[in-house]
Each structure stands twice: as structure tokens, then as C-alpha cells.
Amino acid sequence: MPAENQRSVPFQPTTALSLRPSDHPPQPFNKHLHQHAMSGIEVYINGRYYPKEEAKISVYDHGLLYGDGVFEGMRAYAGRVFRLRQHLVRLFESAAAILLEIPMSLEELESAVQATLQRNSLQDAYIRLVVTRGAGSLGLDPARTSDPQVIIIADHIELYPRELYENGLRIVTASTIRNHPAALNPRIKSLNYLNNIMAKIEGRKAGCMEALMLNVRGEVAECTGDNIFIVRRGELLTPSIDAGILEGITRNAVIELARAASIPVRECTLTRHDVYVAEECFLTGSAAEVIPVIEVDERPIGDGRVGPLTHLLLRAFHDLVRNPDA
């Protein structure tokens, strides 16, 4: 049926999930939690722990000099890292793509992440795992580096104020496009995030905390640090991997939750027009979790309020991350 002849059909959940307001709203970290983060945090570097003020690597490290390395950002809930194995698999895939040999096995890294979390007596936390190429010469040649650095930081993070999870974000489209996949593939979570930072600056200058990035074809890719979803005619839509996006762990979890609730999900090409006429919009990421968007480029999304499907998936994700079997 041609799109112009289709009528909007209200979403009807077919599982036990309902559209009631969230009983357990997301718990983004608040400022009070930073009091602990400012003291007592120890950072893991190559098997040893250092007070955060003393955690150092060489200024000749190619991770610093050239952004030559990879990383993962993860969340822990009630002392358990959410989908740790998936994050580590993605880390090893990113490293393989840039011919960086991680000097630990996946299982050893898994144990180190858990140990770092426990050493810092953290239950709900953000974990940053970084692997650099190591110290070398002032030239680009990675063959002249040695001793890759494995760094694990367990601390707290607050990306957005609590009220934005309840009332939604306003974002703008950045003129800075996502990296061309034939240059630095966005699926590689590398230490070089200047592409995203430039778009973030544009968003900040426009008075927004996040910015939407397009790909080289002018299609919607993702935001500077989060994947994007829209709702159209009761269907959940998100850019496909070949749009030039990072395959987000939270993104995949939300897709699973939607399909489990019999919500139609499609990974497809999206343009700004699709976003402008969407009924709902939200972003996903390990640090951001699930956060609604109510306005893009000064255009209200739907009725300008957080939509029912967004509420449903936000609550479902909140329940998922605290499920020990997730």
C-alpha cells in the first residue's frame, strides 16, 4: 500500500508490558554521587592500581599522540556490569580492525573489570576500558611502539540532568558529518573522537546538549554519543549499520526488548524528513541509557512530549539492566 494511503494505527502492545507510567524511572547518576568519585577512586593500569590523581601513562603513548587505541564505555548496576561480554567482544573486534594486539585475553579482561569495580566499592557505576597502542616515537609508525596500555576506570557519570529523562531533549542537526566508513569506520570504537566532538561543539553552540549527525549521503546516522530511534505509525525505526554508525550495545538491547513486546522494528535508511514527521524519538547509549527527544532543529516531535512507546521501552530497559539474567 502506498505510504500516502496508510493511516496511523495506535500502538497496541501484545505482551504483559503496558503503557502505564514508569513505576521505576531510570536512575541517571546525580551530583551527590560525584562526592564519592572525587575521593578514593583507584585506576587499573596493566595489572596495578593507582589513585586517580596518580594514574599516568607515557606522554609518548600513541593513544595520546594520535588517538591510536580503542575503548569501551560500560555501566554497572547493583555491582553487575551490563552485557560485559558483548562490550569486550566489540573491544576485541575494534582492536583487530586497527591491528592492535590486546595483551590480555577476553577472560582476563573480564576479571579485571569486575575486580576494578569491586576494589572501588561501587555498585552503580560507569566503567571506561581503554587500550592504547603504547609508547613509541614521535612518528606515526605503529611498528615503533611497544607495551600497549590497558586502563580501566570505574567511576560515576552524569550525562544529562534527571529532568531531561522525564521531559525530553532538544537537539539539532550538525553540519559535521559522520566519518566515511572507507576512512575510519564508525564501527571501530577508537580513541579518535574528534569527529563526534566537533559535532558536539555545534550542538552546544546551538544551546543543545546533543546533536544529530548525518552520513556522507545525507542520511541520518546517529548522535555524537548515542544511537537514535524514531516511532512512525506504531513502528520502531533506527538507522542500519551501513548508515555509518556504531553498533550500540544499548541499541541492540532496545531492539530485543521491542521485538519481545511484539513491537515492529526495522533497521532502515532514515532522512531528516523521517525524524521531523516522527511521532516519537529517543536516543540510546551505555552512559545515556534511554533518553527521549522532543524537538529536532526547532521542530517538535509528535506533540512535543515524551511518547507512550518511549515510556514503555525506557521502563523495560530499566527493568532489564537490573535483571541478573540479562
Shared domain for 85 and 181, answered yes or no, is no
* Residue 157 banded pLDDT, cuts 50, 70, 90: confident
Residue 6 lies in a domain: no
* Residue 45 banded pLDDT, cuts 50, 70, 90: very high
Question: What is the extent of the structural domain holding 167?
Answer: 160-321
Shared domain for 223 and 118, answered yes or no, is no
Give the model's pLDDT for residue 10: 40
Residue 4 lies in a domain: no
Q: Give the Cα separation of 214 and 32 in Å (integer).
A: 36
Shared domain for 148 and 173, answered yes or no, is no
Q: How many domains does the chain have?
A: 2
Strand partners, 321: none
Shared domain for 293 and 192, answered yes or no, is yes
Nearest to 261 by CA among 14, 23, 22: 14
Residue 200 lies in a domain: yes
* Residues 148-156, mean pLDDT to the nearest whole number: 97
Distances (CA, A) of 201 to 69, 195, 254: 23, 10, 28
Residue 16 lies in a domain: no
Shared domain for 64 and 195, answered yes or no, is no
Whole-number average pLDDT of the chain: 90
Q: Does the pLDDT of residue 246 top 60, yes or no?
A: yes
Which domain-ending residue is among 134, 155, 176?
155
Which domain-ending residue is among 155, 175, 199?
155
Cell numbers linked to 257: 526488548
Give the model's pLDDT for residue 43: 98
Q: Which residue has the higher pLDDT, 45 or 4?
A: 45
Which domain-ending residue is among 155, 180, 208?
155
Shared domain for 180 and 243, answered yes or no, is yes
Q: What is the pLDDT of residues 48-85, one digit of tens each?
A: 999 999 999 999 999 999 999 999 999 999 999 999 99
Shared domain for 111 and 260, answered yes or no, is no
| DSSP letters spanning 159-189 | -S-HHHHHH-EEEEE-SSPPPPTTTS-TTS-
Residue 180 lies in a domain: yes
Contact status, residue 198 vs residue 237, Cβ threshold 8 Å = no
Give the model's pLDDT for residue 158: 85
Give the model's pLDDT for residue 39: 56
Shared domain for 149 and 247, answered yes or no, is no
Please name the residue that has the C-alpha cell 562526592: 35
Residue 83 lies in a domain: yes
Q: What are phi and psi of 181, to 5 degrees?
A: -60, -25
Q: What is the pLDDT of residues 248-259, one digit of tens each?
A: 999 999 999 999
Q: Which residue has the higher pLDDT, 25 or 174?
A: 174
CATH label of the domain that carries residue 37: 3.30.470.10
Residue 1 lies in a domain: no
| DSSP letters spanning 103-157 | SS-HHHHHHHHHHHHHHTT-SSEEEEEEEE--B--SSS-GGG-BS--EEEEEE--
CATH label of the domain that carries residue 186: 3.20.10.10
Q: What is the pLDDT of residues 266-309, one digit of tens each?
A: 999 999 999 999 999 999 999 999 999 999 999 999 999 999 99
Q: What percent of the chain has pLDDT over 70?
A: 88
Shared domain for 142 and 246, answered yes or no, is no
* Residues 214-218, mean pLDDT to the nearest whole number: 97
Shared domain for 140 and 240, answered yes or no, is no
Shared domain for 77 and 176, answered yes or no, is no
Shared domain for 125 and 190, answered yes or no, is no
Residue 21 lies in a domain: no
Residues classed as catalytic: 189
